[in-house]
Every structure is written in structure tokens, then in C-alpha cells.
Structure 1
Amino acid sequence: MRIQLLALEGFWDTGLTVTLDAFTIANNFAAAQTGGAPHFDVSIVGVRKKVRSGQGFAIPVKSVTSDLKPDWVIVPALNTSRPEQLIPALDRRDVREAVKQLQSWYAEGARIAASCIGTFVLAEAGLLDRRDATTTWWLSPLFRQRYPNVRLDETRMLVTSDRVVTAGAAMGHLDLALWFIRQASPELAAVVSRYLLADLRSLQAPFIIPNHLAQADPLIQRFEHWAREHLKQGFSLQEAASALATSARTLQRRCESVLGKSPLSYFQDLRVERAQSLLHGSGLDVDAIAAEVGYEDGATLRTLLRERLGRGVRELRANLR
């Protein structure tokens, strides 16, 4: 499998190196077991002759040439963690050239993948339009507003859609690399994940911090403050809208456009976050925690936690120790 890592100026160092390390370990184990050629022929290419990482290290890259025909292209994340950094970066000349190159490779049959902020480059190229995708969770409001034609689900760690694969935030680079290795050999992927102490995760949801998402919009931020004060009382869309001096319809639409979910769903996110905190440090039993977040019994809370986080109360408490 020929894989090109398309490195852009100022990429996130860890994203590139953890990807390279995972493939190197996989090749080493495969060679030791079978004595054959490596599964993964990986190289770093660039639209510029010289590329520096976000930490300022000079990275040797191969120039993109017309005879370069990759099976896969992976775009590591840019080292820009905030919207005010990312938006100008996407308009850089090298990024625009990379977008055109990705479009060309895709038209020629290559498959494309990216993790974290690298998914924004794929979206700029139009490769995610009308497709399911994920991205770095804390920039999902910006992604949703900038690329309305993408079916975004930032709760998922990895999404495959036709010839495009997207992965989630930061260490999602490792999840993406393990996905590639799993396509070649599930047994090899299991060995690599154990050596790297890396669980194969299906969800980003347990890592999402709701108030970070709320900061993307003033009305949502005010709604978040109101919701935290009313977790015990339960949710009323009309009551929330009146308290925020807006209409229920406006609040509903704003939540959908910024967060990709209803006000009730976001309210439940806050319940889950609060419940997780109480499971960790309060010593309360599940029924008492349920009452603290507005539920009559622990069974309802257990169901919500399982649906949102993919884990039960016992697993969550074990993970927090």
C-alpha cells in the first residue's frame, strides 16, 4: 500500500510522527513474522520544497510530481487550534495548492484521509460534500458553519465514506493509522495497539467539553449558563427561550446550526458532563447523582450515559480511578 503524507507548513508535529511511528512498528512486526516486504510504503510529500513543522523543525519532503500515483494520501493536522488562526491558514497559498492537488489525486482514483484539523483541508477541497465525516470536536461549530454540505458527526472518532476517511481530534491520528493497519491485518493492528498502549476508540463523545462548544456563539453561551443552573429542574424550551429573551424557534435553529443538535440534546450533554464529574468525586450513589441532574431514578441516567458515552456507570467509575 503506497501512502503519501501530505505535509503542509506548520503541521502539528505529533500528528505526523505518531502516524509514521505506527506504520514503522507495523512494518517491523510484519517483517519479523513473515519475512516479507513491508505492508506500508510511506513517504512524506509537500507542495513546497521545504516544510517546517509547528515546532520549527525542518522536514525533508519529496516534491509532488506528475508521476506520483499514491494509493492513499493522508493530510496531517495544521498546528492551528483556534478559529482565528485556522481561517487565515486555510487561505494560505500552500494550502490552496494542496487543495488542488488533493482534488487531482482524488479524480485519478486515489483515496484520501485526514485527522483532526487536516479534515478542514479535505472539506476545503470539496471532498467531504454530501458525505459523513468527523473532525476535531472543539472546532466542530466552525466546521459545521463553514461546510454546511458535510454530514458532520463529531461524536465519532473515525468515519469512512466511499474513498474518504476522516478521524477525530489530536490523537485521532493514531486511530487513523491503526485503521489503515487493520485493513491489512486485524491481528497486526491489535499487536501495534498493544505496544503503543492505544485503545481502539469508536467515539470522541467522552472527551467533548460542552462549554468549549458553546463559546462559538453568544446565544449558545448564554443558553449554556442558563442550562447549568437548571439541570435539577429539567428542560423546557419555552422557559429557556424566555429567560434568554429570544424565541423558542430562534434558540432551536441556533443550536442546530452551531452545535448540530437540539437544545434538549445539548442540555442532556451538560447532564452527562455533570454526572461524570459526580461519579468521579462526590461519593454519591447513582440515584442521588440522577437527582442532581434532573432525573427521577438512576436507571434513566444509566441509559443516557450508555447511549452518549458507550460506557456504563461501572466502567466510567473504573476509568476515573
Structure 2
Amino acid sequence: MKILVLALDSVFDTGLTVMLDALKLANRFAAMQTGGALTFDVSIVGMRKKVRSGQGLAIPVQAIASNVKPDWVVVPALNTSTPELLVPALGRRDVNEAKQQLRIWHAQGAHIAASCIGTFLLAETGLLDGGEATTTWWLGPLFRQRYPKVALDESRMLVPSGRIVTAGAAMGHLDLALWLIHKASPELAAMVSRYLLADLRSSQAPYIVPSHLAQADPAIQRFERWARDHLKEGFSLDEAASALATSPRTLQRRCQAVLGKSPLAYFQDLRVERARSLVHGSDMDLDAIAAEVGYVDGSTLGTLLRDRLGRGVRELRADLR
């Protein structure tokens, strides 16, 4: 499998290296099994002769050869973790040239994978339009704003869509690497996973901080503050809208546009976040915690925690021991 890793200036160091290390480790195990044959033919390419990482380290890139037809092109994240840094970076000359090159590779039949903020670069090409994707969870609101033609679900860790696959935040690069290795050989992926002490995760949901998402929009910030003050009560869309001096329909639309979910769903996210905090930081039993976040009994809350976080109360408390 011919893989080109596209490294641009100020690429996220960890994302790039974890991808390369995982593929190299897979090749080592493959060579042991086959007597020398490599599963992955990996090259690092760049739009410039000299490329430096976000930490200022020189990256040994090769020039892009027109006669090379990759099976996969991997786009790691740029080292720009906030909208203030990311939006200007997407207009850089080398980034614009990379967009055009990605369109060429895709037209030639290549599969394309992007992780974390690399998904923004891929979305800029238009290749994700009409398809599904995930991205860095805390930049989900910005992604929705810039790319309304893409069906975004930032709660997922990996989203294959046609000949494109996108992965989530930061260490989602490792999940993407394991996914690529699994495509070639499930046995290799299992071995690499065990050596790296890493499992292929399906969800970013346990890592999402709802309050960070609210910061993307003043109206959602006001809704979040109101919701936190009313977690013990049953949710009322009419009461929430009235408190924010808006209509229920407008609040519904704003939540959907910014968060990709309904006000009720976001309210439940805040309940789960508060419940997890109490599980970790108090000796309260589950029924008492349930009462604090507006549920009648602990069993209902326990089921919700397991569904949302993939872990029950005992596992969550065991994490702190």
C-alpha cells in the first residue's frame, strides 16, 4: 500500500510522528512474518523543499512527483488549535497549493485520510461536500459554520465516507493509523495496538467539554449558563427561550447550527458532565447524584452515563484510584 503523508509548515508534531511510528511498527511486524516484505510504502511529501514542524523541527520531505499514484494520502493536523490561528492558516499559499494537489490525487483514484485540524484543510477542497465527517471536537461549531454541506458528527472518532476517512482530535491520528493498518491486516493492527498500549476508539464523546463548545456563540453561552442553573429541574424549551428573550424556534435553530443538536440534547450533555464531576469528586451515592442533576433515580442516570461515556459509576470511580 503506497501512502503519502502530506506535511505542511507548522504541522502538529505528535500527530505526524504517531502516524509514522505506528506505520513503521506495522511494517516491522509484517517483515517478521513475511521475511522482509513491507505492507506500507510510506513517504513524507511537502509543498515546499523545506518544512518545519510546529515545534520548529526540520521535516525531511520529498518533492511531489507527478508519476507517483498513491493508494492513500494522509493529511495530519496543522499546529493551530484555535479559530484565531486556524482561519488565517487556511489561506496560506502552501495550504492553497495543498488543496489543489489533494483534488488531483482524489481525481486519480486515491483515498484520502485526515485527522484533527487536517480535516479542515480537506473540507476546504470541497471533497467532503455531501458526505459525512468528524473533526476536532472543540472546533465543531467552526466546522459547521464554514462547511454547511458536510454532515458533521464530532462525537465520533472515525468517519469513513466514500474514499475519504476523517478522524478526531489530537490523538485521533493514532486511531486513524490503527484503522489504516486494520484495513490491510486486522492481525497487524492488533499487534501494533498491544505494543502501543492503544485501542481503536469509536467515540470522542467521553472527552467533549460542553462548556467549550458553548464559547463559539454568545447565545449558546447564555443558554449554557441558564441550563447549569436549572439542571435539577425538568427541561422546558419555552422557559429557556423566555429566559434568553428569544423564541423556542430560534433557540432550536441556533443550537442546531452551532452544536449540531437540540437544546434538550445539550441540556442532557451538561447533566452528564455534572454527574461525572460528582462521581469523581464526591462520596455521594448514585441516587443523590441523580437528584442533583434532575433524574428521579440512580438507575436511569447510571444507564445514561454508560451509554454516553462507555463506563459505569464503578469504572469511573476506579479511574481515580
TM category, shorter? over 0.9
**Equivalence for 1:295:** 295
Code of the aligned partner of 1:112: I
**Equivalence for 1:2:** 2
SS in 1 for 2:319: helix
Code of the aligned partner of 2:152: L
Residue segments in structure 1 that go unaligned for 5+ positions in a row = none
Structure-to-structure mapping, 1:1-321, within 5 angstroms: 1-321=1-321
- If the length of structure 2 is used for normalisation, what is the TM-score? 0.98
The separation in 1 between residues aligned to 2:67 and 2:7, in whole angstroms, is 18
> Which digits, 9 at most, give the CA deviation of each residue in 1:146-171, with x for residues without a partner?
10111100000011111000000000
The separation in 2 between residues aligned to 1:54 and 1:215, in whole angstroms, is 25
How much has 1:219 moved relative to structure 2? Answer: 0.5
SS in 1 for 2:114: strand
Moved more, 75-84 or 293-302: 293-302
SS in 2 for 1:63: coil
Aligned-residue identity in percent: 77
> Which digits, 9 at most, give the CA deviation of each residue in 1:198-241, with x for residues without a partner?
12211000000000000000010011111111101121111111
How much has 1:248 moved relative to structure 2? Answer: 1.1
Residue segments in structure 2 that go unaligned for 5+ positions in a row = none
SS in 1 for 2:231: coil
How much has 1:195 moved relative to structure 2? Answer: 1.1
> Which digits, 9 at most, give the CA deviation of each residue in 1:41-88, with x for residues without a partner?
111001111111111111111111211211000000000000011001
The separation in 2 between residues aligned to 1:307 and 1:145, in whole angstroms, is 28
The separation in 2 between residues aligned to 1:282 and 1:291, in whole angstroms, is 14
> Which digits, 9 at most, give the CA deviation of each residue in 1:159-190, with x for residues without a partner?
11110000000000000000011111112111
How much has 1:314 moved relative to structure 2? Answer: 3.0
SS in 2 for 1:84: helix
Q: Report the count of equivalent residues.
A: 321
The separation in 1 between residues aligned to 2:240 and 2:181, in whole angstroms, is 48
- If the length of structure 1 is used for normalisation, what is the TM-score? 0.98
SS in 2 for 1:91: coil
Code of the aligned partner of 2:48: R
The separation in 1 between residues aligned to 2:184 and 2:36, in whole angstroms, is 14
Moved more, 131-140 or 282-291: 282-291
How much has 1:310 moved relative to structure 2? Answer: 2.8
